[in-house]
Amino acid sequence: MSKKSKETNRNEDSIKARYTDANAADMPAVDQPITEMLEVNYMPYAMSVIVSRAIPEIDGFKPAHRKLLYTMYKMGLLGGNRTKSANVVGQTMKLNPHGDMAIYETMVRLTRGNASLLHPYVDSKGNFGKQYSRDMQFAAPRYTEVRLEKLCEEIFKGIDKNAVPMMDNYDGTLKEPSLLPTTFPAVLVNANQGIAVGMASNICSFNLSEVCAATEAYLKDRSVDLMDYMPAPDFSGGGLLLYDREQMRQIYETGRGSISVRSKYKVDSRNNLIEITQIPYSTSVEAIIDNIAELVKSGKAKEISDIRDETDLDGLKITIDCKRGTDHDALMTKLFRFTKLQDTFSCNFNILIDGSPKVMGVSEIISEWLKWRTGCIRRELEFNLEKMRKKLHLLDGLAAILLDIDKAIHIIRNTELEEDVIPNLMKGFDIDNEQAEYVAEIKLRNINKQYIMNRVADREALEKDIADTEDTLKRPERINTLIAKTLKEVSAKYGQPRRTELVSSQETPAFEETQVIPDYRLHLLLTRHGYLKKHTMQSLRSAGELRTKEEDEIFMAFEAENRSDLLIFTDKCNLYKSHVYEFTDTKPGDLGHFLRSELGMDADETPVFMISTQDYKGLFFVAFENGKAARFPISAYETKQNRKKLVNAYYDGSKAVGFLLLSEDEDPDLVVTNNVDKAAVFKSSLIPLKTTRTTQGVQLLASKKGSILKSLNRLEELDVTDPEYYRIRKVPAIGYYIREKSLEAKQISFDDMN
């Protein structure tokens, strides 16, 4: 028993004893600490899932795969006739107690019929469903038949020569291999996915010929660039891989990253339709059809009149009927953007190495596989060497009787008791028990000089083989030569042309969302209660009174473009980003879009300012209660990830009292006022330009006697009779007392907005 198991048992015993003592004393049970609960119950379960179920090992298999394939091998299904799947499932339960359906589902994925693997391990007959179909169900195991594919000869080569350690099955009645002695890096050749506790594995498939060539090159030179031999993954479903060499190199080096794959299609111009024949490995036909149907319903794919699944025995096919005048390639570019016709495969090369999960790059995986494969070959050579030495030992005894065959016959003939034959031969020729047994078992017809001379000749050849094997074990380069030779043979015998075509991601046309979004001028209005009203120019001109809720009012209004980005600032210093076209046009009598619910704001969060932009050019100006003001470019809010929410959109050390959007080439006069009836007029450029959006800016009006800033406006928005009276030319300033009726706000009218 391992040290960890002993500690676990001690923990369990101590907890049981504690509860027993408590019950014996009629005391309430002591609560089990969460740390002990995790250690005793959860951690063993988590480790079992990681090590014994979900994560593949260096041979390329999970335990469930290995038990199934080994059972089929022992049943004689490598080269034999097919047998019912139910028979295989039943026999596998001797090694895998997880249930018949779990075993059968494992088998389904390994079959040629399911098309999940680039190189299937199981030759199947019957309906095994399809990897690219979500709804196509596989037939019951009593209807289908299976046997091992020819490729499995490379999976089991050397398994009967002690190439891998054998271990007991779950009840100790049978032996099973700890790993399978694959002669090629199967861990890279076939896709493998597993979700454990706290970690996962997602390994994409690579072309067998490319993997063998790369491994052979790595054997010769550990610094070789593997991408020259295996440039990218190769999926069983084909498709077009959007190839970015630097992005691929990152995946090769770290074992993590995403790969984008597009569907393959052909256009039938005569019948005005598109036929999709290959789809990304990570999606299904039904998911794609559902995506396209939703797109048509939403009005984003008006070019499509019908879509149907025409998959049959000839293979996958999705047919899209198009309306007259459709640009088929432009339509497909749009569908790639909005549907699963283009999907990503997230790589996570997490593999068990000596019982521990490890995320590795491709070169490290090949290095670990070579180390493990070298061990397999050594074990196999040592097995052969032991067999040859035993045979040589027996032939040495046979050579001894060559000196006097008649003496051997005389000893056997004149021995009265059968049990004395072996001791007499040992004494007569000075040989041991095994050699004497071997001599005594020779048939009478073979006791002739020719037979014995032939065996002696075999002995000489055997001595040469033993010397050669011993030399191979001493020289690693000879073992590397054996591995390289096998890789070449596997590649020549089982290699296939690449299925997934590589296309440059830079040269692939990308869909521009603005291609399908109508662009027009419109009015945006924001109310105090957080309602956004979006009106076309025509509807606003013909509108009477615009409707708002009671005690609500419009405090912002400006023109914008439908394709603009919309930036909405809240009193929690958050910024919510959206697109103007994501909000439907409203009628004058509508209340508008309630931003708090539509943008997912907090219950006590309120919009306080909004701007629209298409190029993120311009300057953002904000003033705070503490008398400070900040000016920085709105490009600080531009994000490549299209994020919907930005926290800390502006300085949160004091409440913001005013926001302005300025163009980069203007320097307007601005006005601020505070609660002690002081005001100041100044050029916006008086506030230094900063680069970060969280800057607190500089002190604009000095805060004295607890005064706070209460407003920020453009000078043109106010009626100021003598603006020069309030003019300041440096900061901080104390401002000037407001003269009676010399500074009043203008009334906003809809004529002003037009």
Nearest CA to 752 out of 531, 554, 551 is that of: 554
* Pairing assessment for the beta strands 501-504 and 240-243 based on DSSP bridges: parallel
CA distance 500 to 642: 30
Please choose, from the candidates 687, 706, 704, 684, the residue with its C-alpha nearest in 3D space to the C-alpha of residue 696: 687
The alpha carbon dihedral of 6, 7, 13, 14 has a sign of: positive
CA 737 – CA 725 distance, rounded (Å): 10
How many residues belong to the chain? Answer: 754
- 143 catalytic? Reply is yes
Strand ranges in 95-171 using DSSP code E only, listed in sequence order: 122-125, 145-148, 166-168
* Distance between CA atoms of residues 141 and 143, nearest Å: 5
What amino acid is encoded at 335 in this protein?
Answer: L
| Half-sphere exposure in the Cβ direction for 552 (13 Å, CA) | 20
Query: Where do we find the tokens 């459709």?
Result: 326
Instruction: Find where tokens 């000078």 sit.
Output: 715
Alpha-carbon distance 612 to 604, whole Å? 24
What angle (nearest 5°) sits at the alpha carbon of residue 724, between those of residues 719 and 727? 105
Which long-range contacts link 89-94 to residues 24+ away (Cβ below 8 Å)? 89/141, 92/67, 92/68, 94/169, 94/173, 94/174
Among 143, 170, 520, 737, the active-site one is 143
Contacting residues for 695 by C-beta, under 8 A, at least 6 apart: 630, 632, 651
DSSP conformational letter for 725: G
Q: What is the dihedral of CA 585, 590, 594, 598, to 10 degrees?
A: -40
Distance (Å) of CA 50 to CA 43, 198, 352, 364: 11, 9, 9, 20
Token pair 């600032």 is at which residue?
Answer: 569
Q: How far apart are CA 242 and CA 342, in angstroms?
A: 10
Q: Strand order in 554-561's β-sheet?
A: 554-561, 521-527, 531-536, 593-594
CA atoms within 13 A on the CB side of 305: 11
- Alpha carbon distance 652, 135 (integer Å): 52
The CB-based long-range contact list for 613-618 (8 Å cut-off, 24+ gap) reads 613/564, 613/565, 613/567, 614/561, 614/563, 614/564, 614/565, 616/565, 617/663, 617/664, 618/661, 618/662, 618/663, 618/664
Of 334, 662, 273, 665, which Cα lies nearest the Cα of 510? Answer: 334
Tokens of 4: 């960890």
Compute the distance between CA of residue 155 and CA of residue 182 in angstroms, rounded to an integer. 4
Catalytic residue IDs: 143
